[in-house]
């Protein structure tokens, strides 16, 4: 008889959950250590090989020894040289070569070979492989942070698919587009592509594709606070993955449950904590079946949200440990700076700010700002500068630096037509100039803030600003030149 990996109590092989602690169980996991794990659409790669054996090679989840890859690359080079002499098409060989460089995480060489393969397949009018090359290039550009190029290649793959009747590949590319737009925080387009993929999967009665797509859609729905729909999707998905003994799917779904409970607020924090800690234990049971990169990709959000929870509960040591583990996880699987690293660095900055460690907080806001800068996320850049300015204003009381960062933040939010943030910053700048007894400048900022609140139809804040303006006027300050 086996034991539950959570409570260590005896369990039966046919149980889908432990009847002692109610945690989900993965049946037969020890009997099938080489069974391929089912992965939701977390950047879907596909190739033209039809046999299951070939597919296993492309989807190998373990890191292959570099020496064996190098030997295969040498053999491929010989084949390519021979094919070039004979004037044969080299597309398939180049595609295989690209996949090997991808396994080595040498993305520049993988991209170069994919581009060469694409040229070959275009000459041959081999549309399936053209689609594959565009899709793989999109995934590499996504992973290396060139999101506009990723979108371009996914769009090309999708437009080429219009001439073919391959619904599964279309669903995969739609999901990949949804993933990229989610990463750049374009929730409108992300939702559209996920929903299009889900509609197609349900129309064609593709249950597995629908489950994987809805798992991605959950991320957008959490951002949109559509918690009722999230609950329905996660309930169905967990039942599906448990019924199919799909450990990877169960882990992904329970991570999303942990996030859902966190966003539902105080009354659900304990459930969020229990869910995330049990997921980490579950990941540990399959660590020998997955690569270190996959393990860290599964763990980073668990540690991030556990950090948030421990911070809320004033468990500072645990929170700091969780946040740093999340950062270490991201830095393990990232190729270069990753947008997720910016998210974790920002969380650490907020944590240190709450603890009153202003120097550390500013440092980490600057680190996260550097990441967001590389990815061109202007909104996040504006937020980071705003937070740094607030620390200088409220805690360090360095008004000059506060003004500098507020002005930089204001310029960004003004260019993004974010009236709410622009108004808030103008209000803060007005307060700073009042404290400096520079009343004419203060009046100018308050008047501008009032204009934004008027556009927002925010009567509450508009009235507060109006009172500040009237107070300055009542004290007989000369504002005639404003």
For 389-408, the pLDDT digits (tens) are: 999 999 999 999 999 999 99
Count of beta carbons in the 10 Å neighbourhood of residue 442? 23
- Whether residue 385 contacts residue 405, with contact meaning beta carbons closer than 8 Å, is answered with yes
Please report the sign of the dihedral spanned by the C-alpha atoms of residue 429, residue 434, residue 437, residue 440: positive
**Position of tokens 């374009």?**
186
| pLDDT score of 3 | 63
Residue 22 has pLDDT above 80, yes or no: no
Per-residue pLDDT reduced to its tens digit, 422-433: 999 999 999 999
Residue 163 has pLDDT above 60, yes or no: yes
Choose between 137 and 59: higher pLDDT: 137
Residue 186 has pLDDT above 50, yes or no: yes
* The token pair that represents 48 in the structure block: 């033209």
Count of beta carbons in the 10 Å neighbourhood of residue 481? 6
* The token pair that represents 102 in the structure block: 């991808």
Residue 97's alpha-carbon distances to 41, 119, 318, 352, in angstroms, are: 24, 15, 45, 46
Category of 309 on φ-ψ map: left (φ > 0), alpha (ψ -120 to 50) or beta? alpha
- Which range is most confident: 36-40, 78-82, 138-142, 382-386? 382-386
Q: What is the total residue count of the chain?
A: 482
Burial class (CB in 10 A: 0-12, 13-18, 19+), 22: exposed
> Mean pLDDT throughout 13-34?
40
Residue 133 has pLDDT above 60, yes or no: yes
Q: Taking CA 24 as the corner, what is the angle to CA 251 and CA 305, rounded to the nearest 5 degrees?
A: 40
| pLDDT score of 336 | 64
Share of the chain above pLDDT 70, in %: 84
Share of the chain above pLDDT 90, in %: 68
Alpha carbon distance 174, 158 (integer Å): 7
| pLDDT score of 42 | 56
Residue 29 has pLDDT above 70, yes or no: no
Per-residue pLDDT reduced to its tens digit, 340-381: 899 999 999 999 999 999 999 999 999 999 999 988 889 999
Residue 196 has pLDDT above 50, yes or no: yes
At residue 80 the predicted structure's pLDDT band, cuts being 50, 70 and 90, is confident
User: DSSP readout, 258-282?
Assistant: HHHHHHH-GGGHHHHHHHHHHHHHH
Q: Which of 270, 269, 236, 267 is CA-nearest to residue 253?
A: 236
Q: Which of 166, 232, 231 is CA-nearest to residue 200?
A: 166
Per-residue pLDDT reduced to its tens digit, 263-296: 999 999 999 999 999 999 999 999 998 889 899 9
| pLDDT score of 55 | 34
Dmax over Cα atoms in the chain, in whole Å? 92
Q: Give the domain ranges of the chain.
A: 1-32
* The token pair that represents 130 in the structure block: 């053209």
Dihedrals φ, ψ of 403, to 5°? Answer: -60, -45
Alpha carbon distance 247, 390 (integer Å): 45
Long-range pairs of 304-308 with CB within 8 A, sequence gap ≥ 24: 304/343, 304/344, 304/347, 305/258, 305/259, 305/262, 305/272, 305/276, 306/273, 306/276, 306/277, 307/347, 307/351, 308/262, 308/347
| pLDDT score of 9 | 66
| pLDDT score of 185 | 86
At residue 27 the predicted structure's pLDDT band, cuts being 50, 70 and 90, is very low
| pLDDT score of 24 | 41
Alpha carbon distance 80, 130 (integer Å): 19
| pLDDT score of 339 | 84
Count of beta carbons in the 10 Å neighbourhood of residue 417? 7
Judge if pTM exceeds 0.85. no
Residue 258 has pLDDT above 70, yes or no: yes
Residue 160 has pLDDT above 70, yes or no: yes
| pLDDT score of 333 | 82
At residue 325 the predicted structure's pLDDT band, cuts being 50, 70 and 90, is very high
Category of 314 on φ-ψ map: left (φ > 0), alpha (ψ -120 to 50) or beta? left
Residue 104 has pLDDT above 90, yes or no: no
Residue 34 has pLDDT above 60, yes or no: no
* The token pair that represents 153 in the structure block: 């290649």
Alpha carbon distance 47, 140 (integer Å): 15
At residue 89 the predicted structure's pLDDT band, cuts being 50, 70 and 90, is confident
Alpha carbon distance 346, 380 (integer Å): 10
């Amino acid at each position: 008889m086996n034991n539950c990996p959570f409570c260590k109590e005896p369990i039966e092989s046919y149980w889908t959950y432990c009847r002692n602690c109610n945690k989900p169980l993965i049946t037969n996991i020890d009997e099938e250590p080489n069974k391929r794990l089912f992965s939701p659409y977390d950047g879907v790669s596909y190739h033209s090989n039809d046999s299951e054996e070939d597919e296993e090679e492309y989807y190998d989840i373990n890191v292959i020894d570099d020496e064996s890859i190098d030997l295969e690359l040498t053999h491929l080079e010989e084949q390519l040289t021979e094919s070039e002499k004979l004037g044969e098409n080299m597309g398939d060989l180049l595609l295989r070569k690209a996949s090997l460089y991808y396994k080595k995480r040498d993305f520049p060489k993988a991209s170069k070979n994919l581009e060469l393969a694409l040229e070959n397949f275009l000459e041959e009018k081999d549309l399936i492989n053209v689609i594959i090359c565009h899709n793989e290039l999109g995934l590499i550009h996504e992973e290396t942070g060139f999101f506009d190029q990723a979108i371009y290649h996914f769009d090309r793959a999708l437009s080429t698919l219009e001439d073919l009747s391959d619904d599964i590949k279309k669903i995969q590319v739609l999901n990949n587009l949804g993933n990229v737009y989610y990463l750049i925080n374009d929730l409108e387009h992300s939702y559209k592509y996920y929903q299009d993929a889900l509609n197609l999967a349900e129309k064609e009665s593709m249950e597995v594709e629908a489950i994987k797509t809805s798992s991605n859609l959950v991320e957008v729905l959490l951002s949109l606070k559509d918690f009722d729909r999230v609950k329905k999707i996660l309930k169905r998905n967990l039942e599906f993955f448990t019924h199919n003994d799909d450990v990877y799917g169960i882990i992904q779904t329970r991570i999303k449950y942990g996030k859902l409970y966190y966003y539902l607020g105080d009354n659900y924090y304990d459930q969020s904590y229990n869910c995330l800690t049990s997921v980490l234990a579950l990941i540990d049971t399959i660590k020998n079946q997955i690569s270190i990169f996959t393990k860290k990709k599964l763990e980073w959000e668990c540690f991030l949200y556990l950090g948030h929870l421990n911070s809320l509960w004033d468990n500072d040591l645990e929170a700091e440990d969780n946040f740093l583990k999340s950062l270490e996880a991201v830095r393990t699987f990232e190729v270069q700076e990753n947008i997720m690293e910016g998210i974790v660095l920002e969380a650490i900055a907020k944590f240190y700010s709450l603890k009153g460690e202003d120097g550390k907080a500013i440092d980490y806001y600057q680190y996260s700002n550097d990441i967001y800068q590389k990815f061109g996320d202007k909104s996040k850049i504006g937020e980071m500068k705003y937070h740094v300015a607030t620390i200088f204003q409220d805690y360090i009381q360095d008004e000059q630096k506060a003004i500098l960062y507020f002005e930089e933040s204001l310029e960004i939010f003004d260019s993004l037509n974010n009236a709410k943030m622009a108004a808030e910053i103008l209000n803060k700048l007005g307060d700073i100039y009042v404290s400096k007894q520079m009343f004419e400048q203060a009046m100018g900022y308050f008047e501008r803030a009032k204009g934004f609140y008027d556009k927002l139809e925010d009567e509450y804040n508009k009235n507060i600003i109006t009172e500040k303006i009237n107070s300055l006027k009542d004290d007989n300050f000369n504002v005639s030149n404003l």
